[in-house]
């Protein structure tokens, strides 16, 4: 296990997570769906004051995921391994975050489905980035 490759993979995954997230959440119809629930979600303007906390939290999470990826058995091309890893993380996020929020927050089924699709895409791409950066060393 290489800690420097874990750090680079975590950093790379964090960057791609935010870029893809911006496209999927801010530049898509999901942005309008979020605005329907102002009592639940912060406005883009009010997020600016706490954005650093979210960025730090995602970096911490991506470092943990990169370490988990490093501990798994890798057979095959990094892209296919990253897709597999990303799908598993996406499924975990779907159950532990998206569906859980649907139960706890007063949000629409449409927003929940949109989040589920968007987060799955986001986690798959982050998984691929982790796999591409954290390549096991060749013997």
Residue 74 has a pLDDT of 82
Other CB atoms within 10 A of residue 110 CB: 12
- Mean pLDDT for 78-90 is 96
Share of the chain above pLDDT 70, in %: 97
Domain ranges of the chain: 3-133
Cα–Cα separations (whole angstroms), residue 38 to 31, 45, 129: 12, 12, 33
- Mean pLDDT for 114-138 is 92
N residues, the chain: 139
Residue 76 has a pLDDT of 86
Per-residue pLDDT tens over the stretch 12-67: 999 999 999 999 999 999 999 999 999 999 988 999 999 999 999 999 999 999 99
Q: Helix 51-71 crosses helix 109-133 at what angle (to 10 degrees)?
A: 60
Q: Which residue has the tokens 């605005």?
A: 35
Residue 44 has a pLDDT of 87
- Mean pLDDT for 115-122 is 97
- The answer to whether residue 136 scores a pLDDT higher than 80 is no
């Amino acid at each position: 296990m290489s800690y420097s490759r874990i750090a680079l993979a975590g950093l790379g995954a964090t960057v791609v997570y935010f870029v893809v997230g911006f496209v999927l959440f801010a530049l898509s119809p999901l942005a309008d769906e979020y605005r329907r629930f102002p009592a639940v979600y912060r406005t883009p303007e009010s997020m600016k004051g706490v954005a650093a906390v979210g960025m730090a939290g995602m970096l911490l999470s991506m470092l943990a995921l990169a370490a988990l990826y490093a501990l798994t058995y890798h057979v095959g091309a990094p892209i296919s391994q990253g897709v597999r890893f990303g799908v598993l993380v996406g499924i975990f996020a779907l159950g532990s975050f998206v569906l859980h929020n649907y139960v706890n927050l007063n949000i629409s089924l449409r927003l929940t489905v949109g989040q589920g699709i968007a987060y799955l895409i986001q986690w798959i791409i982050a998984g691929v980035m982790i796999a591409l950066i954290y390549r096991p060393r060749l013997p």
